[in-house]
A and B are shown apart, each in its own frame.
Chain A
Amino acid sequence: MSVLVNKNSKVIVQGFTGNEGTYHASQMLEYGTNVVGGVTPGKGGQTHLDRPVFNTVYEAVQKTGADVSIIFVPPPFAADAIMEAAEAGIKVIVCITEGIPTKDMIQVKEYISDRDCRLIGPNCPGIITADEAKIGIMPGFIFRKGTVGVVSKSGTLTYEAVDQVVKAGLGITTAIGIGGDPIIGTPTKEAVELLMNDPETEGIIMIGEIGGGMEAEAAYWVKEHGTKPVVGFIAGQTAPAGRRMGHAGAIVGGADDTAAAKMKIMRECGIRVVESPADIGEAMADELSKRK
């Protein structure tokens, strides 16, 4: 078991023949991901990385039976790419693209709300199920198979947490990079819920940052339904109010979206919150050893 993706996932790459798509598709193949083809409008019929290229996602799904898509399409066309994947019946859509206008994402969220699919991202590093499938841009070599699930808004901070978990002698089931934009397909709570329901996952690391209310929502859910230890960290304890910290969604607007406010709520809901990002791995190891 694992969540969202595994070795049987049939993956297509949207924006397959572009620089980003080509580079990361090769890396994904190298990791062992079952990439069955790709989509670049106008290049249908060609072969790229020994895989077929299709003009439309619909055609790719018909011919390959793909159920997962990863999107490396530039911001002006990314919303369209997400909706095309949803319409074609893709079940898990991972959008890596950073810089999609909020207005487009409002439309996307509405469009996919009554379709049978899950969007991860945008502006995210993707998802990886260790030793099975990497559908993203993370460095695969740092991952080891294990029992810890990771949910994070940030890319490199996810790698940091994973590295610490591995160095603490543990490993990863699935790591989900949910993305740093104001509107994302899978909020923290839903990602935590997926891992909580995964029999293989024994502990969950939840990494958030300033801005928005997703971490608080997830914390309240954990308090009600949590059955496994959760270790949390919120980046941006030292970020000033009103300034955007890199990610489009990382901005303190009011008292509720500061790091301190989120950490307090998470603690009150029974989450082990670490002050220092250097303590994530050890805290997880400690929590898991208590349960043994």
Chain B
Amino acid sequence: MNIHEYQGKSILKSFGVRIQEGIVANSPTEAVEAAKKLKEDYNSDWVVIKAQIHAGGRGKGGGVKLAKNLDEVKERAEQIIGMQLITPQTGPEGKKVNKILVAQDVYYPGESETKEFYISVLLDRAKGRNIIMYSTEGGMDIEHVAETTPHLIFKEEIDPKVGLQGFQARKIAFNFGLSGEAFKEMTKFVASLYQAYEATDSSMFEINPVLKTSDNKILAVDAKVNLDDNGLFRHKEFAAMRDESEEDPMEVEASRSNLNYVKLDGNVGCMVNGAGLAMATMDIIKLAGGEPANFLDVGGTANAETVKAAFNIILKDPNVKAILINIFGGIVRCDRVAQGVIDAYKEIGNIPVPIIVRLQGTNAQEAKKLIDESGLKVYSAILLKEAAALVKQVL
């Protein structure tokens, strides 16, 4: 599950990770109040207005702006709240900004230069262990750093038997070239960060930049936090952090019906059981000259109800010109799926696009009989190859 920067920072703070402080605001008025409070609490004359959307590269799209007085706070907040923010990660249509984070200015001048670093915590899938990945090149796109200066990216592997060790935190701080107070602060920062990662069942932390301030404090200026969906049952408190307005409305509706659905841009909708076969069916559609309109796994317990729900979701997508239903029955019984197709067809009325039904496996014969006897105008296939040919034919 993705969460917003302000939510990620609040989690980090609760584990003792120092953060750039801020207050979330839903309107320009709230933003001005927030700026006043930051002045009171942290003596921050300037503030940064940061759009809260689930995508990186916000600064590049004009979603992060400095405000030097309360008038500017109001003005910037008015500009950013409600804007359609386009970043390299949002796609060309962008994302609507509903909330902003009004954050303290942490780049104030002082006894030493400020310095930005990059730290992330994530799973190394090949090793089955967590790693801390870090770089002296903070504030930049890490993919760019990996391409141009790969020698400036370092990794620290965590042994699951003992967890993060002190020498590892020290090694990171030394590699950052820190000394004195900033060195101590960094080792504390790394230790608390890793503790937060483990304790929250996170699947990724990306802190970019981590800032050394001019008075040698180390803090998280940004926080990208991904929580492991499979671990959420242990953290009921995080459920409220889900922001459905960040998700595709059709995906939200699908998840309520326990369907695994991902909206895509193509013209052929598909309904499949099993994630691997669903991806393979998308590939078949492409090879047949179409483009998949979605990924949809109806799961291992598909029945008439789930099929109906799936139909309703696919048909809401105006781009869909044909639907391919591909079920390989194992536990799922094909006759139940066929009944679902028939019921949905009757209930929805005149479905305006051609439907190709390919049912194979458990009770496939019974299913075919049901479909044939229903008198519905559907194209029926047994082999995957035949289904592919039918897609080509109807497009």
Contact = CB atoms under 8 A, between A and B. Distances in A.
Interface residues of B, number: 56
Nearest to B273: A156
B282 A182 contact: no
A180 B275 contact: yes
Interface stretch (B27-35, B171-179, B283-291): B283-291
B385 A102 contact: no
A160 B274 CA distance: 11
A169 interface: no
B331 interface: yes
Which secondary structure dominates chain B's binding surface? mixed
B316 interface: no
A76 B233 contact: yes
Interface string A50-69: 00000000000000000000
Nearest to A212: B125
B360 interface: yes
A235 interface: yes
Interface in B268-312: 272-287, 291-292, 295, 297, 300
B233 A180 contact: no
Contacts of A245: 262, 275, 278-279, 295
Interface stretch (A4-12, A41-49, A104-112): A104-112
Given A103-B228, A156-B328, A278-B385, A75 B130 contact: no
A242 B55 CA distance: 11
Contacts of A164: 384
Interface string B116-131: 0000000101101110
Contact of B283 (A125, A236, A243): A236
Given A153-B276, A235-B279, A278-B284, A106 B130 contact: yes
B276 A212 contact: no
Contacts of A288: none
Interface string B184-207: 000000000000001001010000
A107 B161 CA distance: 8
Nearest to A259: B283
Interface in A231-254: 233, 235-240, 242-250, 254
A254 B282 CA distance: 20
Interface residues of A, number: 65
B125 A213 contact: yes
Interface stretch (A30-38, A82-90, A136-144): A136-144
Contact of A238 (B286, B360, B385): B286
A163 interface: yes
Given A23-B331, A106-B130, A246-B278, 5 more contacts: A103-B201, A155-B330, A238-B266, A259-B283, A278-B387
- The 3 A-B residue pairs with the shortest CB-CB distance in the complex, in nearest-first order: A154-B276, A246-B275, A156-B274
Interface of A: 23, 75-76, 99-103, 105-107, 109-110, 125, 137-139, 141-142, 152-160, 163-164, 167, 180, 182-183, 207, 209-214, 217, 233, 235-240, 242-250, 254, 259, 275-279
20 contacts: A102-B201, A102-B231, A103-B228, A109-B160, A137-B300, A155-B276, A160-B277, A164-B384, A182-B123, A237-B282, A237-B283, A238-B279, A239-B279, A246-B260, A248-B230, A276-B283, A277-B283, A277-B384, A278-B284, A279-B385
Interface of B: 89, 123, 125-126, 128-130, 143, 160-161, 198, 201, 203, 228-231, 233-234, 260, 262, 264, 266, 272-287, 291-292, 295, 297, 300, 328-331, 360-362, 383-385, 387-388
